[in-house]
Amino acid sequence: MLAGLGSGLLALVILFEEWGWVPLQQLLARIGRWPGLRWIEGWVRSLPPWGAVALFALPTALLLPVKLLALWAMGRGHVVLGMLVIALAKVVGTAVVARLFTLTQPALMQLRWFAWAYTHWMGLKHRILERARASWAWRVARVLRRQWSQRWSRR
């Protein structure tokens, strides 16, 4: 049962990443085109492989204290606030990591261990997504989403 719960949680994380990765990355790309910020993307693209690794790890390091503070708030009885902070940190973290990965992927893929890990991660991710998409819940959600879209498009 514990393995099933772990697989389910991993599937939820992957589904969130899958849903949010592209639109959030595109949002940050639009922000990155603002005057005064363009040079940052150029600088990030020019990083050597190990500089890209360090920069890629930075959002995790910066958001960890925020998430710990949210857990502390939840322990003090501010459960809703703590959950909102964790959710916001997840969205912001996904956006930043997605954009950084897009900018640093060529440099990161020069590292043999990273290319190996990335290839294996993508294989695992695709297998999990295939299982999720074949599930009853996914099919029902697709039907409901299609019906909802059709209702909204008629208005």
Question: What's the pLDDT at 6?
Answer: 61
106-146 pLDDT, tens per residue? 999 999 999 999 999 889 888 887 887 787 877 887 788 78
From 154, 59, 153, 150, select the one nearest 104 (Cα to Cα): 59
Q: CA-to-CA distance for 97 and 32, rounded, in angstroms?
A: 14
22-80 pLDDT, tens per residue? 777 777 777 777 777 778 888 988 999 999 999 988 888 888 898 899 999 999 999 99
Residue 39: CB atoms within 10 A of its CB come to: 10
3-12 pLDDT, tens per residue? 566 666 666 6
Number of domains into which the chain is organized: 1
Q: CA-to-CA distance for 108 and 49, rounded, in angstroms?
A: 5
What are the CB-based long-range contacts (under 8 Å, 24+) for 131-139?
Answer: 131/11, 132/11, 132/14, 132/15
Structural domain for 75, as ranges: 2-154
Q: CA-to-CA distance for 122 and 38, rounded, in angstroms?
A: 30
